Structure 1
Amino acid sequence: MVGVVAFAFFGVVTGLIPNPLYARMVPRTALDYLFLTLTAAFLGIYSVQTTVPEDWRDDGAATVGTVGGFLAFGCPICNAFLLALFGSSALTTYFDPLRPLLGAVTAVLFGGLVVYRHSRSCETCENASGTQPSRE
């Protein structure tokens, strides 16, 4: 459910899902939709993995993954924070061409976090049961 809500929310506020409330100023690309989907999926998987307060120590990494993903698929000219920091010409000249790289790095890091947490939870299950699963 978290992944679906994140996809819908981020899609609407970035203009990837066309709506009357927001007009995107840069063209939509297939990579934008890919990074939106990956960010929402990783966010959904991460939220399923986070069931007890001890799991919250990775929240900073998940936050960086979410923000990085948002910057990768969001419209850089429409982002008021980036616009205030750098100006529109710097964003279109320097940041916009780097968005695919940012999206790829963020997807790899967020995916790595999800895999790491999954492998850590499998080790916890193995230690709790006292048996090793067969690897046939």
Structure 2
Amino acid sequence: MFVDALRDAYRGLLLWDRRRIGVAAAAAAGSAVIIGFATVLIPNALFARDIPPVWWDYPVWILTSLLLGMLIASYVRSPGPASEGRSSGPDSAPEVGARGPEVASEGRSGVLGGVGGMLGWFAVGCPVCNKIALLALGYTGALTYFAPLQPLLAAVSVILLLAAVIIRLKGQYSCPLPTPERSTRS
């Protein structure tokens, strides 16, 4: 089942045009800049970091940004016959009132992507610069309890983002929206 989902996700990725690839690159770069500046993985004068980054912060940061870029780009509708008033193709907008597996997958992937992105942010950030951890645990508690959890947060973040991207890409290939021709026949 997982192999079939990966295969369908790969096929969905092959359907991407230049526009969607460009959006993925821009969204990944934007995510990298936002997360990098806020967590001071990109040195800057706006933010400070009390605890220096560890070696795994950088790969997690880049992977999180790439997956966020792909997830954001998966929501971009491809231009085509849908702009002429007809709904066709795997990425066209659903008709008003249309329901199906793509509606459920959009909500599920949106939640997974949002949670994964936030966990990735917390995973690569300074453990004592995180105001939530600092207020809940104090400085020593954040170092003692939150810092050791950051690699786990990183792993969960990447898994959730990867699942969201797979769900979106799989849906673009295996669950195309009904065209007017198909819906009149059913």
Q: TM-score range by the shorter chain?
A: 0.7 to 0.9
Q: Distance in 2 between matches of 1:94 and 1:86?
A: 8
Pairing 1:120–2:171 present? yes
Q: Distance in 2 between matches of 1:63 and 1:116?
A: 14
Q: Distance in 1 between matches of 2:135 and 2:143?
A: 14
Q: Distance in 2 between matches of 1:92 and 1:115?
A: 34
Q: Distance in 1 between matches of 2:131 and 2:153?
A: 19
Q: Distance in 2 between matches of 1:105 and 1:76?
A: 17
In the alignment, which of 1, 22, 28 is matched to residue 3 of structure 1? 28
* TM-score, with structure 2 as normaliser: 0.63
Q: Calculate the aligned-residue CA RMSD, in Å.
A: 2.2
Report deviation, 1:124. Answer: 2.4
Equivalent position of 1:25 in the other structure:
50
Aligned residues: 129
Aligned-residue sequence identity (percent) comes to 32
Unaligned runs of 5+ in 2: 1-25, 77-92, 95-102
Report runs of 4+ in structure 1 exceeding 6 Å deviation.
Answer: none
Equivalent position of 2:125 in the other structure:
74
- Higher-RCO chain (CA-CA 8 Å, sequence separation at least 6): 2
Report deviation, 1:16. Answer: 0.5
Pairing 1:110–2:182 present? no
Report deviation, 1:71. Answer: 0.7
Unaligned runs of 5+ in 1: 131-136
Question: Residue type of the partner of 2:69?
Answer: G
Pairing 1:45–2:45 present? no
CA contact (8 A) 2:71 2:165 kept: yes
Q: Distance in 2 between matches of 1:62 and 1:85?
A: 25
CA contact (8 A) 2:40 2:47 kept: yes
